[in-house]
Amino acid sequence: MEQLLDVGVAMGAADAAGWTPLAWAAAGGHATCVSLLLEAGAGVGSLDDQGRLPLHWAAERGRAHVVALLVPAMLQAGPDLHALVSPHVTWLPMCPNHLSPG
């Protein structure tokens, strides 16, 4: 990942479904890649073709360690989380019970 970032691979490039490298890393639970992409300025607010954020995919798939990286990054970037999601999609119901504290 570091080598790809070093040669200038476009972090905002998306595939046919609108998935960026950050979305793929988040969905796959690859925390190290997510951290590197965030440090390099990857867009935490990029929506895919379903109107979902990388955060949605991480939460839905139970990637608590990745959710823990993405939420602070989104808050630091300043976007309103509710404004970034489709009216019919929120990330909280997607979180499995094991993401809840306790």
Q: Which domains does the chain have, with CATH numbers?
A: 2-99 (1.25.40.20)
Interval 65-87 mean pLDDT: 74
**Predicted pLDDT of residue 75:** 81
Q: Are 25 and 33 in contact (CB under 8 A)?
A: yes
Cβ of 19: how many Cβ atoms within 10 Å?
A: 20
Interval 72-89 mean pLDDT: 63
pLDDT tens for residues 4-47? 656 666 767 888 999 999 999 999 999 999 999 999 888 888 88
pTM of the complete model: 0.74
**Predicted pLDDT of residue 51:** 86
**Predicted pLDDT of residue 22:** 94
Mean pLDDT of the chain: 78
Interval 78-87 mean pLDDT: 54
User: Looking up tokens 């200038």, which residue turns up?
Assistant: 8
State the Cα–Cα distance between residues 47 and 38, nearest whole angstrom.
16
